[in-house]
Structure 1
Amino acid sequence: MKLPAPAHVLNEALAFLLELTALALLAAWGWQTPDSLLPRLLLAVATPAAAATLWGLFAAPKARFSLPLAGVLAVKALVFGSATAALYAIAQPGWALAFGVVAVVNTALATVDRRAGRDGG
């Protein structure tokens, strides 16, 4: 199923916003987790940096390393799942559920759309 052009653009924009939100959520979790400043700062910087590096290497449209679809989806599940867990951990279970559902639906639509475009359908 190929999405109509406007829906494709909106879904891609939403994907980018979800990726940025995931990084922000991981940083917020890192900042709120430990009691002292240095570990807080390290987690707030290192956690989203690790997620961004992982995403850039394996899940980005121009990723450094090409993985099969299952591998790309596993990286996306790890990053979005971690962000969802981070949001849940900072006492926002309702928002965590909403973020997780939107990330799954967006990723599914993008995957189906890209495969249809690649297959010419």
Structure 2
Amino acid sequence: MFIKSVNLAVRFLLELCALASLGYWGFQVGKSAYTKFVFGIGSPLLLAILWGTFIAPKASLKLPEPYRFMLEFVIFGAASFALHFVDKTILAIILGMVFIINRILLIIWKQ
């Protein structure tokens, strides 16, 4: 079904937005060039490692569903909080709401 494919595409875009929001946060909160690099590159890298290891469809250590949802909630919560922390509150709310709607549809459609 076409709408289910759109939901999966939105899921991928949400992952990219989470990476971008953590990177943006890192480069904004860092005081020196070193801390900007560590936070701006390190936080999205950590998210990508966690996602690829535990959540991705081809994850090496795929978590069972309740724990997977909790980790996703923490990841997207951190990404939303990071946006809020750098005064991008509207974007933080949008990211959080789209994540919740997307996750509900993933559960309903068993994707």
- Fold similarity call, TM over 0.5: yes
Larger Rg: 1 or 2?
1
TM-score of the superposed pair, with normalisation by structure 2 = 0.95
Name the residue aligned to 1:19. Answer: 15
Contact 2:56 2:62 in 1 (8 A): no
Q: TM-score, normalised by structure 1?
A: 0.87
Q: Give the C-alpha shift of residue 34 in structure 1.
A: 1.9
Q: Pick from 13, 24, 27: which aligns with 1:28?
A: 24
Alignment match of 1:68 (pick from 64, 80, 86): 64
Give the alignment partner of residue 33 of structure 2, picking from 37, 42, 64: 37
Task: Indicate if the aligned counterparts of 2:26 and 2:40 stay in contact, CA closer than 8 A.
Answer: yes
Higher relative contact order (CA 8 A, sep 6+): 1
Aligned length: 111
- Aligned equivalent of 1:80: 76
Q: Secondary structure at the match of 1:114?
A: coil
Deviations 1:19-62 (A, max 9, x none): 00100100000000021110111111110010111011111111
2:43 is matched with which residue: 43, 47, 50? 47
Q: Distance in 2 between matches of 1:6 and 1:64?
A: 29
- Return 21-30 or 87-96, whichever deviates more: 87-96
Q: How far off is 1:90 after superposition?
A: 1.0
| Match in the other structure for 2:104 | 108
RMSD: 1.1
1:118: which partner in 2?
none
**Identical aligned residues as a percent:** 33
